[in-house]
Amino acid sequence: MTDFALLIGGERRSTPTTLDVVNPATGGLAGQAPNCTRADLDDAMAAAQRAFPSWAADEDARRQALREAAAALTAAATRIGTILTSENGKPLARAVEEVHGVAHWIGYFAGLDLPRETIYSDATKVIEVVRRPMGVVAAIAPWNYPLILASWKLAPALRAGNTVVLKPSPFTPLSTLAMGEVLAGALPPGVLNVVSGGDELGAWMSTHPVPRKISFTGSVATGRKVALSAAADLKRVTLELGGNDPAILLDDIDVDKVADGVFASAFQNSGQVCVSIKRVYVPARLHADVVEALADRAKRAVVGDPMLEQTQLGPVSNAPQYRRVLDLIEDSLGRGAVAVAGGGALDGPGYFVAPTVLRDVTDGMPVVDEEQFGPVLPVVPYTDLDEVMARVNGSMYGLGGSVWSADPERAATTAERMECGSAWINSHGGLLPFAPFGGVKWSGVGVENGPWGLASYTDIQTLHRAL
């Protein structure tokens, strides 16, 4: 079994205690992660602080180091992808893709400019807007896409000249520790530090005096706590939080075609995607056909050992999430919902849930109103588009949404009415390094990616130059 260590100031460090990491496909042990102490965290923050001035000083060196880090990661993609599958349960091909995605994101930010802007000039003065790095950034990531979501933080943070202390979820720390070691091989010591531990480590980070910014991806409940602790020290925050994305199907759709797209988005990564479709609204006239088409796809999906090539869907990633998904299904069945496909756990070890499609569901049921974050999809009929839009916008979640129609213009007009950070027409969930991504209302504060994401790792300095 690989020996995993904290990464502090460019050095591996073991800890007196470790955390067991479970393989969700077997229920067995995937590995053991170091359990960072407060003193270790202080050292990581101090290392990041020491590394900051010289890292911030040389932009060309930063771009070059980031490109080298991305290349090193690409070379290690299969090894790190295998670790990711063993702790997270996603199919191996998807895990390796995720590692390549990180390299792509880092390469994108390495090449992105952070221009100085001249906003005024006359014979007596020039006024410029300069972007300065903030210092140390604390980055806290969740378990569903541990690597790519960490890269959305560390790539722009490092590109802008900050140094980083990164903490993965206690459910998936191993692949991040392995990734950190590979990346750090191309970076000066202390520029990127990786610490693993329990949830309390996240709380220590967000109350720690050193970081000037907390970049957090996770649940709404934890996001609130992070915002509260950050406020005490006026640390900047980016919060990427939960979602309950609706897909609204219009009355002119080709049912089979749309069912393919909706199924793919809703069940990708076994439904554990911040922007997957979490509820579908279908015109009453088409409801039975859509339910049947989705159920057919759910029944045909190959669920099983994520290390096997033919597997399309792996297990739910951890025990608490497995319990939550099963509870939500059970609750909805108790309220009169019908599982047209799936409806519960699959036999055998591991946290496997049968891909579940529910009909006879309504707004007001927890499986519709809350974020299920698992392989279960409620399909809700509607008769009036304005009314459904009011219901959708009545939610405090506002991460993503989609509209599906044979008429893309009509769909776009409808999508623009949705209160959400990203809206898609005839697809759902595609994310790109150059496109800003973030949530409105409870789904987040700020955006990641693109020049907007990069700018969020800087402070503005307005430079007034008298001539």
Give contact residues for ligand NAD (rule: CB under 6 A): 140-144, 149, 167, 169-170, 199, 202-203, 206, 217-219, 222, 225-226, 240-243, 274, 371, 373, 399, 439, 444
Give the separation between CA 168 and CA 215, rounded to whole angstroms: 12
- For ligand NAD, give the closer residue by CB, 198 or 336: 198
Residue located via tokens 């599906």: 404
CB of 397 to ligand NAD, least distance (A): 9
Element at 85 (helix H, strand E): helix 77-88
CB of 193 to ligand NAD, least distance (A): 15
- For ligand NAD, give the closer residue by CB, 259 or 418: 418
- Phi-psi domain of 78 (left: phi exceeds 0; alpha: psi -120 through 50; beta: other): alpha
- For ligand NAD, give the closer residue by CB, 206 or 356: 206
Cβ atoms of 426 and 261 within 8 Å: the answer is: yes
Give the separation between CA 398 and CA 384, rounded to whole angstroms: 21
Cβ atoms of 86 and 30 within 8 Å: the answer is: yes
Catalytic entry in 87, 240, 371, 448: 240
CB of 358 to ligand NAD, least distance (A): 20
CB of 176 to ligand NAD, least distance (A): 10
- For ligand NAD, give the closer residue by CB, 32 or 74: 32
Using CB atoms, what's the residue nearest to ligand NAD? 202
Q: Give me the DSSP letters along 171-230.
A: TSHHHHHHHHHHHHTTS-TTSEEE----HHHHHHHHH-SS-SEEEEES-HHHHHHHHHHH
Give the separation between CA 442 and CA 439, rounded to whole angstroms: 7
CB of 463 to ligand NAD, least distance (A): 34
CB of 141 to ligand NAD, least distance (A): 6
CB of 357 to ligand NAD, least distance (A): 21
- For ligand NAD, give the closer residue by CB, 55 or 322: 322
* Catalytic site includes residue 240: yes
> Where does residue 429 rank: exposed (0-12), middle (13-18), buried (19+ CB within 10 A)?
buried
Q: Among residues 325, 321, 317, 400, which one has the least CA distance to residue 355?
A: 325
Angle at 432 between CA 429 and CA 438, to 5 degrees: 65
Backbone dihedral angles phi then psi of residue 348, each to the nearest 5 degrees: 105, 175
| Secondary structure class of 369 (helix, strand, coil) | helix
CB of 240 to ligand NAD, least distance (A): 3
Give the separation between CA 209 and CA 232, rounded to whole angstroms: 10
- For ligand NAD, give the closer residue by CB, 304 or 439: 439
Give the separation between CA 269 and CA 60, rounded to whole angstroms: 37
Cβ atoms of 49 and 55 within 8 Å: the answer is: no
Give the separation between CA 415 and CA 403, rounded to whole angstroms: 6
- Widest Cα–Cα separation across the chain: 78
| Secondary structure class of 363 (helix, strand, coil) | coil
- For ligand NAD, give the closer residue by CB, 241 or 411: 241
- For ligand NAD, give the closer residue by CB, 15 or 144: 144
CB of 368 to ligand NAD, least distance (A): 16
Q: Say what the alpha-carbon torsion angle 447, 148, 63, 159 is, to the nearest 10 degrees.
A: 30
- For ligand NAD, give the closer residue by CB, 275 or 411: 275
Number of neighbouring beta carbons within 10 Å of residue 431: 17
Assigned token pair, 273? 């995607």
- Is the Cα dihedral 143, 147, 148, 149 positive or negative? positive
Residues involved in catalysis: 240
